[in-house]
Structure 1
């Protein structure tokens, strides 16, 4: 009982030690020779403390004297010194365990008594063995308490055996072992188990606190970010400041850009602060360095108010540059604890990362729009060059036809400019666009070309697709599918409902696609020959950009001859309502 009571004092001291940040290095096994020596010395001192907290055994009787200076040859100590040595080995490994055992053993030898020499031999060995056992649990950050308790049972037993061997099983040694053996086995094993349980409790408490603060920071950033992503204005800054003040329980919160105060909410808030220039030295330093600063006096606080005595100035970044400040105001500097500062750092990094992600998404969207516009810009000249070439030919042989083509071309280009203002257009407009194109083509080919267009009823006003999708596909059939043919060319355009979307196809009875080009069509412009494939390549790329890879064009040569271009356009939200502004009659 006396040994347990005194061991409790030792465990209380070690519990306080577990709260020291440097102790985490040992738990994470981040050891070098300096930390190894430091922890060997630390656990060695814990072991010496366990010795002095022990019970003096004198002539077979217990003596409750505390802090015995030296032991007589016939005296011994029933102590909890092995707790420090076992913990050194289990937590720090072989080197720390052996080092702590040597320190404890040398002290036991100096202290003397019946067990002095035996302890000097046994404690380094016990520390070494504890370190070797810890290797079997290397994947565990801290060994489980029940395992530590079971392993520690054998340490005092080994020590008792060494005492008997060193003292050649003398009557005094046997009497001492009989008296202290069982109490030391129980006390030391339970002490190691409790020590490990305290360490685990401290770790879990820290992890729970970290998880709670992380969740809190994510929650606050999630609520404030939608406003900050809209740009730093007085309205968005005020909305973000209200959220931060409510969640952080600060007396006031201000949001600034790099030049002026955009909004402030809470104590001392007035509209006159909006637009006020940033003046304080700490705020300007935070903008310049990007580091968090703590304002501990009213002179460093802007704006001044008697109820505000301290502030945390938190810069946040966008695109690698400081974009503004979040100022968290408190009544006193005593309210700014370490946890508030750590949370402010986390909030600053989180908002900065999210703003960078938002900027990257915006840039990606702008690049995507730019690429779509570039693709669209390539289609118009492609058709224009072909039509102008046809007009040059018609001027010589059919001047009246050339005049009609020129008029139709003007109508076509006006319609084209109107459609290209949007990424997506209703199907009925795309069909009108195709019809205008065919009016131009029919003047050139007259009875040599027959184009049939079938659109399932109800799709015209409910389906959207990129502008100038059908026309380049039909033009491809006319320009390349019928090249060198003297018989009538036939083209069928179909738009049908499917489970996954609208099935669109353009089929002709022409020459078909060269077999060696089927795999490359639509993936890249074709090089060589008299065709670059820009038209169908651009159409396929725009479909992929807007609807995904499943919408890309598919090319094949049907067994009955000719060529087939097909794709599936996914149903869009707009397809749930009729987006026509005028009727369109289904037909051919």
Structure 2
């Protein structure tokens, strides 16, 4: 029995080697991911079926108690029994690809063995598809792993050979011959098939683990480089920081040299070949031009493709990685190597990943800069919204007061200068203390009430304990101005504006009310969400304030506009408070 087992291991060894080589072909990973379409199932069933046919020809022939060993089995007599190894391949197909791949490959092997014939052709034909189904179903039932554990594969691999021995006893014409075959080959076949299945799963798991470990190392390296590149890329453009970035990449990557270029010239070069690869020279390599034009990574596997005129240049190969900013190619990062063997698939993917990460960082920083410019433009727009009539009316007021009340004219002039200074400083800070914003409102109200002494009354309810809360600048004053300019524009009675600043739990409520005409009902839901045309009044001020609140404090902080039951309107918003336990102060959550 030991001799038979050794013989079977010898015959099955080559088959295991071929099966392992099969796992390295492209597309095999879809088997392990259990994510296959029917065409993929069909393809793998054929591949494993052909391998199973080859395994059949590497088996042994039993003639009663005699083993016939040939290098390639072709003819099987009616009184002989073919013990092939196609079933091992079918079991591997079922274990890796599932029951459908196992069944498909088993049918191919079973039909082929029916044509070969022999005394046990019926058992061989039926057992192969059954073996594929059994290993496929039991493999999925016993394990959710990507590749089943070898000990489980060893256990599963015992069932099909045992069932095969039973079929031989059932279908072989000579019952005595069947018993002799089972006694001779039964236990060795069960052991060799089970061990073969465990070995192949162990080999696949080991190869995958090594591949995934290498991928994890390269991913970690790419992320580490990206983290270190953040401060380099954040402050300025790629060209200005090219030298620092090239030094970083040269230190972190196993390369002979690093070159960084913009769309025309080399802006930095670090590593071997610095004596003749000069900063400032124009891009000459054809593949570099292709990378810039197409935005696709290029690989030069031969020195001639580098187009370097120096014969003694140590640089032999290179990977050219395009760098994007806002979907536009702005430059290249060239990774140079001394030998073409150094450029493996993992190096190409690492270079591609670095290019993507660096491009995303540059695009992100560009978006942040654009956002800051938009905020500044918004502030400039707010500054420009000082109504010309307000300026002229204020100047006329000061001019008139100069003749009748010098002291009041002086006071209004001071308040006007404070008001203008606050407007000019709007763009300098996003957040200011609430007391500064209220001072801005007071300066504006002093000017307006001086003009309309008998027509306007302002009532204030301000909680003095919340004056240190930070709020976005130019938020309260535009609301007050909007109430006076538009809310009270057409009323005949005395206009009243109420400013309420009170604390509500962990927030500060800021509300401006008036007894004016109120908002048009058809526009009430849209106020603050979009600017209105002139015929609806100056809705731009409310829109700008609302956008500013959302942009700085978040979407939860928005204007709430409503009409009051007794006439007039109300515009309000809430500023969240954050506690500072170290200093005992309260600030806004930003």
Q: TM-score, normalised by structure 2?
A: 0.78
Go from structure 1 to structure 2 and tell me whether the alpha carbon gap of 1:108 and 1:376 turns closer, same or farther (over 3 Å shift).
same
Go from structure 1 to structure 2 and tell me whether the alpha carbon gap of 1:118 and 1:424 turns closer, same or farther (over 3 Å shift).
closer
Aligned to 1:473: 479
Q: Structure 2: how far apart are the matches of 1:62 and 1:504?
A: 96
Q: Is the 8 A contact 2:460 2:499 kept in 1?
A: yes
Go from structure 1 to structure 2 and tell me whether the alpha carbon gap of 1:111 and 1:504 turns closer, same or farther (over 3 Å shift).
closer
Q: Structure 2: how far apart are the matches of 1:370 and 1:234?
A: 27
Aligned to 2:339: 332
Q: Secondary structure at the match of 2:358?
A: helix
Q: Structure 2: how far apart are the matches of 1:199 and 1:156?
A: 23
Q: Structure 1: how far apart are the matches of 2:511 and 2:107?
A: 88
Aligned to 2:425: 419
Q: Shift in Å at residue 253 of structure 1?
A: 0.9
Q: Secondary structure at the match of 1:442?
A: helix
Q: Shift in Å at residue 328 of structure 1?
A: 1.2
Q: Is the 8 A contact 1:126 1:155 kept in 2?
A: yes
Q: Is the 8 A contact 1:253 1:328 kept in 2?
A: yes
Go from structure 1 to structure 2 and tell me whether the alpha carbon gap of 1:51 and 1:366 turns closer, same or farther (over 3 Å shift).
same
Of residues 380, 384, 389, the one that matches 1:385 is 389
Q: Is the 8 A contact 1:221 1:350 kept in 2?
A: yes
Aligned to 1:306: 313
Go from structure 1 to structure 2 and tell me whether the alpha carbon gap of 1:162 and 1:274 turns closer, same or farther (over 3 Å shift).
same
Go from structure 1 to structure 2 and tell me whether the alpha carbon gap of 1:490 and 1:27 turns closer, same or farther (over 3 Å shift).
closer
Q: Structure 2: how far apart are the matches of 1:276 and 1:442?
A: 69
Q: Structure 1: how far apart are the matches of 2:278 and 2:579?
A: 45
Q: Shift in Å at residue 350 of structure 1?
A: 2.9
Are 2:22 and 1:17 aligned? yes
Q: Structure 1: how far apart are the matches of 2:431 and 2:41?
A: 72
Q: Secondary structure at the match of 1:274?
A: coil
Q: Structure 2: how far apart are the matches of 1:470 and 1:36?
A: 68
User: Which structure 1 segments of 5+ residues have no match?
Assistant: 578-588
Cα distance per residue 1:42-68 (max 9 Å; x no partner): 423433444455455444255666655
Are 2:91 and 1:86 aligned? yes
Q: Is the 8 A contact 1:408 1:440 kept in 2?
A: no
Of residues 440, 444, 453, the one that matches 1:446 is 453
Cα distance per residue 1:219-263 (max 9 Å; x no partner): 223322442354445541111111111111212211111111111
Aligned to 1:582: none
Q: Is the 8 A contact 1:40 1:97 kept in 2?
A: yes
Cα distance per residue 1:297-318 (max 9 Å; x no partner): 1672569563323222222222
Q: Secondary structure at the match of 2:428?
A: coil
Q: What's the Cα RMSD here?
A: 4.6
Equivalent positions of 1:263-274 (< 5 A) are 263-269=268-274, 273-274=278-279
Go from structure 1 to structure 2 and tell me whether the alpha carbon gap of 1:117 and 1:518 turns closer, same or farther (over 3 Å shift).
closer
Go from structure 1 to structure 2 and tell me whether the alpha carbon gap of 1:458 and 1:154 turns closer, same or farther (over 3 Å shift).
closer
Q: Is the 8 A contact 1:217 1:346 kept in 2?
A: yes
Cα distance per residue 1:39-94 (max 9 Å; x no partner): 44542343344445545544425566665554455443545331112233444466
Q: Secondary structure at the match of 2:349?
A: helix
Cα distance per residue 1:262-317 (max 9 Å; x no partner): 11122343698222222233322322232333332167256956332322222222
Q: Structure 1: how far apart are the matches of 2:427 and 2:418?
A: 15
Q: Structure 1: how far apart are the matches of 2:502 and 2:274?
A: 62
Are 2:248 and 1:243 aligned? yes
Are 2:194 and 1:189 aligned? yes
Aligned to 2:550: 544
Q: Shift in Å at residue 112 of structure 1?
A: 5.0
Q: Is the 8 A contact 1:70 1:111 kept in 2?
A: yes
Q: Shift in Å at residue 23 of structure 1?
A: 2.8
Aligned to 1:290: 295
Q: Secondary structure at the match of 1:549?
A: coil
Are 2:106 and 1:101 aligned? yes
Q: Structure 1: how far apart are the matches of 2:46 and 2:489?
A: 92
Out of 323-332 and 279-288, give the one that drifted further.
279-288
Are 2:354 and 1:341 aligned? no
Q: Secondary structure at the match of 2:452?
A: helix
Q: Secondary structure at the match of 2:81?
A: strand
Out of 194-203 and 92-101, give the one that drifted further.
92-101
Of residues 251, 255, 264, the one that matches 2:260 is 255
Q: Secondary structure at the match of 1:322?
A: strand
Equivalent positions of 1:49-448 (< 5 A) are 49-61=54-66, 67=72, 70-92=75-97, 96-105=101-110, 108-109=113-114, 113-127=118-132, 142=147, 145=150, 148-168=153-173, 170-232=175-237, 235-269=240-274, 273-295=278-300, 296-297=302-303, 300=306, 306-378=313-385, 380-381=386-387, 384-385=388-389, 388=392, 404=409, 411=417, 414-424=420-430, 426-427=432-433, 429-446=436-453
Q: Structure 1: how far apart are the matches of 2:445 and 2:488?
A: 16
Q: Secondary structure at the match of 2:453?
A: helix
Q: Structure 2: how far apart are the matches of 1:216 and 1:303?
A: 34
Q: Is the 8 A contact 1:232 1:257 kept in 2?
A: no
User: Which structure 2 segments of 5+ residues have no match?
Assistant: 584-590
Q: TM-score, normalised by structure 1?
A: 0.78
Equivalent positions of 1:512-551 (< 5 A) are 522-524=528-530, 531-551=537-557
Aligned to 1:586: none
Cα distance per residue 1:418-475 (max 9 Å; x no partner): 2234243644554443333233223223366554667766976x55544433333333
Q: Structure 1: how far apart are the matches of 2:352 and 2:401?
A: 79
